[in-house]
Structure 1
Amino acid sequence: MITREATEQDLEILLGFEQGIISAERPFNITLIDGEIHYYDLSHFIKSPEATLIIVEEDDEIIGSGYALIKKSEKDYYQFEKYAYLGFMYVKPEHRGKGINKLVTDELINWAKSRGISEVRLDVYAENESAVKAYEKAGFEPHLLTMRLKS
């Protein structure tokens, strides 16, 4: 397995990954509209100096992905001015359980550290127990739970 930065030539496969992420998240989020939707500006992540989009290849097949985006802190009372936000974490189903998500996460954290960023955050659905466990295994800890009410 190798990791590398994604290129524009990878976009077709990555757009398929995006739909895989959305399909996996639909059971956890009843507010998503039906049909094809897009969460990410993948081309921006490829081109921006404030982001990196990493893919994992095995035998010339793209099997996993994730991005890190440097964001400015929204609050002036945090101990950090910038943080890295991780997202687009996807591993093809037949390759899950091999440590690929951890490989991507470690690569993204190292990228952030190389830019002087020590705060790293991501969002995960609280009910997505396997994802929560995977991120806890990578060193993340729960921080804030967003709750909703439809009235």
Structure 2
Amino acid sequence: MKVNIKELSIRRATTTDLPKLAEFLQFLVVAERPFDPTLKEGEIFYYNIEDFISDEKSEILVIDYKHQIIGCGYAQIRSAKPFQKFESFGYLGFMYVSPEFRGNGLNNLLLNDLKKWVLSQGITEVRLEVYSENEAAVRAYEKAGFKQISTTMRCDIS
């Protein structure tokens, strides 16, 4: 669906957005299951969304189109490991845009607003995780300036 940018806003999430955000989280889980055989069946909650709304070290944003939430994402300030060049970094996650609105550059708009928030916290390093087999997502993040630096590997030895 073609989006009229003038009817779109990206804003901070509120507790009234929680039901829609919980729904989006389950859509993400379903989308990620083919890439991760370690995920449990049924509903999974990677994190407590309400905590992100109230946490001063987190910013959760929603994409509002014609008074309908069609996407979301969060940034969180995290401590770096002692051997890294920086003390803190911005971690991005929960990136979701409803399927019928994809292809309008909305994920990029959301990424830009999350990056601005991270910069406003005095931080210039931003990271995220994406399944390497999720080629569409990898391409989208590379287009937004991200580069791969590691791959997590696993082996079932049972």
> Could you state the TM-score of these two structures normalised by the residue count of structure 2?
0.94
Count of aligned pairs between the two proteins: 150
- Residue 138 (structure 1) shift: 0.6
| SS in structure 1 at match of 2:94 | strand
Write out aligned runs for 1:1-150 (5 A). 1-73=8-80, 75-150=81-156
2:4 is matched with none
Q: Distance in 2 between matches of 1:134 and 1:47?
A: 29
Deviations 1:24-79 (CA, angstroms, capped at 9, x unpaired): 00000011111111112111110011000000011111001000000011x21211
Taking only the aligned residue pairs, the percentage that are identical comes to 48
Runs of 4+ more than 6 Å apart:
none
Flag structure 1 segments of 5+ consecutive residues without an equivalent.
none
| SS in structure 1 at match of 2:38 | coil
Flag structure 2 segments of 5+ consecutive residues without an equivalent.
1-7
